[in-house]
Amino acid sequence: MPKGSSKRRKREDSSQAAHRVLQTVIAKSEADAEPEIEITPEMRAAAAAFGRIGGKIGGRRRAETLSAKKRSEIAKKAAAARWTKG
């Protein structure tokens, strides 16, 4: 008595192959996914502190590199924006 089926297996068509490949990729990406990181209040405070440090440096440095004419244009634009909101 023969072992297994004597019928030939049908070849998968391109859409079946694409589906199989996609399912394999999804399974691997879910297995490799990093666990969700819980953001604590200490982490938020540290991020805010770093942001303040960079903001203080950036604004001062930008003001130093701008010409007086350019600073004046920026100030006029800001004043106009404040007045149009009201």
pLDDT, residue 82, reads 92
**What letter does residue 6 receive in the DSSP assignment?**
-
pLDDT, residue 78, reads 92
Q: What is the pTM of this model?
A: 0.35
pLDDT, residue 10, reads 77
Give the integer Cα–Cα distance in Å for 86 and 83. 6
- List, run by run, the mean pLDDT of 10-residue segments along the chain (86 residues): 69 88 88 80 93 82 89 93 82
Domain ranges of the chain: 43-86
> If you search the block for the tokens 């634009």, which residue do you land on?
77
In the chain the first and final C-alpha atoms are separated, in Å, by 92
pLDDT, residue 2, reads 63
Give the integer Cα–Cα distance in Å for 61 and 52. 14
Quick check: helix, strand or coil at residue 40? Answer: coil
